[in-house]
């Protein structure tokens, strides 16, 4: 059984197909890889939230009682924490997405140069790394502000 | 189907454009929740009043369409990255299009009923 599984794994690696396992493999993570991974995870999370949000807000069509019942479910401590998570992920996804648009248009990649030891690629430079850090920092600030609004007066 | 014939570079441009436009539309949507205490902004009367505002209705429909296109195309990109074959790509594209149209139709139904259009 183990041999069959190992053969399948070797075949997948040899064919260059690693699927979700390759996607989530932490051993090759630099900051750019973390950013790649977070961009996709936050995107999936936000898509699920968006579909849920479209569904929950549809309760407005069923009158005031249905709307208030929905609010009772979402306007709780757990609901607020979930919303803070949405604020953080959407901020990161937006800022990192803008960085990626600039990167794809060639901005912030540095000039191509002769590959010298230790062969650090010029494209993975401090501009890219600081962009990722700025995205994470802004996500934290947005979550903090969201928490103050949601848990503050009238939240 | 038109989308199946679009080049990947064209779809990428649509993805970026919908992402940037969503940013502005969602920002206005959030401002509508923050111009008064958050709990008060979610009261039934206030939300219905928002739906009676034609500009807000257009904004909501724009957000619905923009984020559906951006989000479901993002899902398509992730799924296509995991496996490559012509059949897989076509299947994923069709399924994602169906889901996208379904969400837009359901959200539009809410907007139309709530705004009394």
Q: What is the pLDDT of residues A70-129, one digit of tens each?
A: 998 888 899 999 999 999 999 999 999 999 999 888 887 877 778 788 777 777 778 888
Angle B54-82/B86-115 helices, nearest 10 degrees?
Answer: 160
Structurally, chain A folds into a number of domains equal to 1
B83 touches chain A (CB under 8 A): yes
pLDDT in tens, A2-24: 455 555 555 555 566 677 777 77
Residues of B in contact with A94 (CB under 8 A): 19, 23
> What is the ipTM metric for this complex?
0.92
Flag whether A111 is in a domain: yes
pLDDT of residue A9: 54
pLDDT of residue A115: 78
Chain A: nearest CA to B72, how far in angstroms? 8
Nearest CA to B63 out of A88, A90, A95, A140 is that of: A90
Give the B window 7-26 contacts with A, CB below 8 Å. 12, 16, 19-20, 23, 26
Flag whether A82 is in a domain: yes
Lowest-pLDDT choice from B9-13, B36-40, B64-68: B36-40
Instruction: Indicate if the pLDDT at residue B33 is higher than 70.
Output: yes
Closest by Cβ to A60, choosing from B26, B37, B110 = B110
B102 touches chain A (CB under 8 A): no
Identify the domain containing residue A128 by its residue range: 31-151
| Residue partners of B104: CB distance under 8 A and separation at least 6 | B64, B65, B68
The CATH classification number of B8-115 equals: 1.20.1300.10
Flag whether A86 is in a domain: yes
């Amino acid at each position: 059984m183990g041999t069959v599984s190992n053969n399948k794994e070797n075949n997948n690696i040899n064919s260059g197909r690693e699927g979700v396992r390759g996607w989530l493999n932490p051993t090759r993570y630099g900051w750019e890889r973390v950013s790649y991974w977070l961009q996709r995870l936050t995107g999936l999370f936000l898509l699920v939230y968006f579909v849920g949000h479209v569904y929950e807000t549809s309760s407005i069509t069923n009158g005031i009682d249905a709307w208030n019942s929905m609010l009772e479910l979402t306007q709780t401590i757990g609901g607020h924490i979930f919303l803070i998570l949405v604020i953080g992920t959407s901020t990161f996804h937006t800022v990192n997405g803008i960085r990626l648009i600039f990167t794809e248009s060639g901005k912030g990649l540095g000039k191509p140069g002769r590959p010298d030891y230790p062969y650090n690629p010029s494209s993975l430079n401090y501009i890219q790394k600081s962009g990722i850090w700025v995205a994470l920092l802004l996500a934290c600030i947005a979550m903090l502000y969201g928490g103050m609004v949601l848990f503050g007066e009238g939240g | 189907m038109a989308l199946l014939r679009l080049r990947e570079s064209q779809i990428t441009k649509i993805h970026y454009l919908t992402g940037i436009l969503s940013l502005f539309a969602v920002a206005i949507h959030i401002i509508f929740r923050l111009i008064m205490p958050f709990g008060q902004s979610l009261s039934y009367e206030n939300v219905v009043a928002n739906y009676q505002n034609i500009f807000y209705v257009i904004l909501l429909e724009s957000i619905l369409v923009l984020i559906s296109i951006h989000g479901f195309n993002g899902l398509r990109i992730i799924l296509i990255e995991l496996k490559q074959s012509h059949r897989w790509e076509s299947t994923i594209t069709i399924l994602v299009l169906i889901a996208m149209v379904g969400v837009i139709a359901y959200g539009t139904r809410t907007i139309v009923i709530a705004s009394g259009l």
